[in-house]
Structure 1
Amino acid sequence: MTHSTNDTIIRVAARGEGLTADGRSAPLAAPGDTLTADGAVLPGPHHQVPPCRHFPTCGGCQLQHLDDASYAQFIVDRIAGALAAHHLATDIRAPQLSPPKTRRRAALQAELKAGKVQIGFSENASHTLVDIYECWVLTPELFAVIAPLRVLLAKFLRKNRRARLHLTQADQGLDLLIEGIEAEGLDAAEAISAFALANNVARFAIDSGMGPEVRWEPEPVTVTLSGVPVPLPVAAFLQATADGEGALIAAVRTATAGAATIADLFAGLGTFTFALSAKVYAGEAARDAILSLKGAAAQARRPVFADHRDLYRRPLTTAELDRFDAIALDPPRAGAREQALLLAAAKVPTIAYVSCNPSSFARDAEEICKGGYTLDWIQPVGQFRWSTHVELAAKFSRDTPPR
């Protein structure tokens, strides 16, 4: 049987489905696959055998059927498509893909079902929980705690009530926050202590609805950022992989090279603050994060001014922005529209923008470019391997006076 070129999958759409040139779609199809008249997918040269037994049921991954070349192209296409929607284009560099089994933080769910504790991710587009017995994205250290957690949670989980597990690798071991359980009394305390000792747990916290309560922390928990140990608040944001963090830092350093003073906006714990060889203003709305950054900077004697500031309600003004040689910003998924509008009118020579959402980035980039900046390049980063989640770092430079 022969197939026309219209039967060939030419790209993967934002939600992970393969598309033909005439607009037909098929789940779990890779570029180069053939879509038959009855909807079957015939694998092509970029269609790999998914390594994990739980794929595609588990919602932790959507794209394990893509080889690295087609996964990288998916990331580039996502960014290019978002830019095109805002009449923008630029040099999009080859994506940096984090290796399998390197994700150092994750949010899982747990429930008691048929007398058995299940832990894992929800199915795609479903609330059904997939009980995972292997994982190709989590670090071995994170995955190793799942089996012991099943035993521990059997003591605390209530029927028909889910718990949410936040796991992060810290300098001292595993940082674990469990939401949605209650663990009171001496027996519970002893069970938690025994679990923590046996499984290299640096901190164990429970949130029963009134905020996190630390039950185990033999020594203060830190995460080292560019050689600086930073106190790690419970369930604080951290780049998903060390590899991805390194790629984003390298891009920001390249974009801001030569700047003597830099404003790091939405600074968090200081992922970029501590990586920059300059005097840095660090602005962040989360009080726990900015206090950790401030304390770590003081301890390390770094030239950092840490400012507790809500950059949505009170973005840096144009006059404030113009005091710096470069601006770095890493906003949440919603982007930074209010700050972007003020950046567009600023005179600062260089902007390094890190984003976890190509759509909100492209919206903000359009505003910045309208003010006279050029979008010089984008460095894509795929640290949420085999997912549709795309991250990037970009450089803007001013080539015309502000409006």
Structure 2
Amino acid sequence: MKVTIDRLGHLGDGIAQGPLGAIFVPGMLPGEEVEGDLQGDQLADYRIVTPSVDRVKPPCPHAKTCGGCMMQHASEAFVADWKLGIVKGALAGQGLEAEFRPIITSPPKSRRRATIAARRTKNGALMGFHARASDMVVEVPNCQLLHPDLLATFPGLQALVKLGGSRTAEVSLTVTRSLSGADVMVVGGKPLDGQLQLELARVTETYGFARLTWNGDTVALRTAPMQRFGRALVSPPPGAFLQATVEGEQALLRTVALAIGPAKKIVDLFAGVGTFALPLAERAEVLAVEGEPAMTAALAKAANNTEGLKRVTVETRDLFRRPLEDDEFKGIDAVVIDPPRAGAEAQMAVLARSKVPVIASVSCNPISFARDAKMLIAGGYSLDWVQVVDQFRWSAHVELVGRFSRT
């Protein structure tokens, strides 16, 4: 059967129109003519008859087997337009449109955090990313996505798997680049006993890991894993949220700073460990609100230990169950809000009826962003512009900032 790809789905699959409905073909681009065997709504054993002008050779040697990246076969210009289209489509679904600033894309080999899948084998350890739509683990020694410092941790990670992994169950290793060495969090390893803990500590020392967390317990701390936010240094708790790349984080921070302008009193909602709150405190008073006590403790400690900051007030509060109320925004010049993927419907409802002059809304989900944007606009705000930041190259993932102002 021969089909022509009409568009891409939200996960990057090519979609063609068949006699009985949509046909899905992975790894395709719009306009490409493809021939293969129809099996249900999938085209199998397919080959490209007419390639798109936007098709390029994948830069990574693991592209055909690894499921970590899905768009390496497309030109950078195509991927940029596609990601802008994802956000525009989400806004259009709510009847909205906006001015878009040029997309900012993180460079290759810049991811500072990754979750690696691994299994212990008879002769060592198998470690890498899952193949697309599969539990098969693909080794990625020449990954073009990860920062070289993360790739350099692989021998040490393999040593951990050999010690505490299983041949029957998968181990998950989250490794984060820090200023003082790799911060490693392992889930699914063997239960700890005295001997295993001693051996894990030796691996931590041998390979220079800053911290090792094993099934929720910190078993080795060679030095605090530090991250820099502006002039402040923070030691995040294990598993704390961080932006995927330093370049992406800086792009988001610059955009947020541009959005709120000369604000002197700022509320940072879902503040995490201070990604925005600490740099912004170099020029304004900040109330930073976050629901996780370990993260607010790290933020408060960093603020107290950093010279030259304006007043930083830190509050631990579940903003889903107990959002800040109208009177708590009195006298506030700007709000920065960076909720999880589900958005912050309850808090946005309060903001929509507040008098805050400017809101910088940061999001990793265009769908929830568009829903929350509609709520703010219904409350009297205007969406001035949107900035898309692509921290997750070659994926369908999108980060963005929207500037809202009181009309």
Per the normalisation by structure 2, the TM-score is 0.90
CA distance in 1, matches of 2:305, 2:264: 21
Give the match for residue 378 of structure 2. Answer: 370
CA distance in 1, matches of 2:122, 2:101: 49
Q: CA deviation at 1:10?
A: 5.8
Give the match for residue 40 of structure 2. Answer: none
Aligned identity (percent) is 37
Q: CA deviation at 1:259?
A: 0.8
**Counterpart code for 2:54:** H
Q: Is the 8 A contact 2:385 2:402 kept in 1?
A: yes
Give the match for residue 299 of structure 1. Answer: 305
Counterpart among 244, 247, 272 of residue 243 in structure 1: 247
Matched, 1:17 2:13: yes
**Counterpart code for 1:288:** A
**Counterpart code for 1:323:** G
**Counterpart code for 2:241:** F
RMSD (Å), alpha carbons: 2.1
Give the match for residue 288 of structure 1. Answer: 294
Matches within 5 A, 1:314-329: 314-329=322-337
Give the match for residue 231 of structure 1. Answer: 235
Counterpart among 273, 276, 287 of residue 272 in structure 1: 276
Q: CA deviation at 1:287?
A: 0.5
Matched, 1:213 2:217: yes
Matches within 5 A, 1:47-196: 47-113=55-121, 115-182=123-190, 184=192, 188-196=196-204
**Counterpart code for 2:70:** Q
Residue-by-residue CA offset, 1:149-207 (whole Å, 9 max, x unaligned): 22332122122111111111111010001111136556534533443233231111211
Flag structure 2 segments of 5+ consecutive residues without an equivalent: 38-45
Give the match for residue 254 of structure 1. Answer: 258
CA distance in 2, matches of 1:106, 1:288: 21
Q: Is the 8 A contact 2:204 2:222 kept in 1?
A: no
CA distance in 1, matches of 2:371, 2:64: 32
Provide the secondary structure at the position in 2 that maps to 1:93. strand
CA distance in 2, matches of 1:297, 1:317: 25
Provide the secondary structure at the position in 2 that maps to 1:150. helix
CA distance in 1, matches of 2:123, 2:170: 14
**Counterpart code for 2:299:** L
Provide the secondary structure at the position in 1 that maps to 2:182. strand
Matched, 1:202 2:210: yes
Distance change in 2, residues 1:202/1:82 (3 Å): same
CA distance in 1, matches of 2:16, 2:388: 25
Give the match for residue 32 of structure 2. Answer: 33
After TM superposition, the structure 1 stretch with the greater mean CA deviation from structure 2, 371-380 or 187-196, is 187-196
CA distance in 2, matches of 1:350, 1:154: 52
Matches within 5 A, 1:345-356: 345-356=353-364
Provide the secondary structure at the position in 2 that maps to 1:289. helix
Provide the secondary structure at the position in 2 that maps to 1:133. coil
Q: CA deviation at 1:256?
A: 0.4
Residue-by-residue CA offset, 1:15-40 (whole Å, 9 max, x unaligned): 10234699765321234534458764
CA distance in 1, matches of 2:345, 2:64: 36
Per the normalisation by structure 1, the TM-score is 0.91
Matches within 5 A, 1:330-369: 330-369=338-377
Provide the secondary structure at the position in 1 that maps to 2:305. helix
Q: Is the 8 A contact 1:31 1:46 kept in 2?
A: no
CA distance in 1, matches of 2:97, 2:330: 26
CA distance in 1, matches of 2:371, 2:218: 40
CA distance in 2, matches of 1:64, 1:197: 37
Flag structure 1 segments of 5+ consecutive residues without an equivalent: none
Residue-by-residue CA offset, 1:213-272 (whole Å, 9 max, x unaligned): 222213333211112001221121111100000110011000001111010000000000
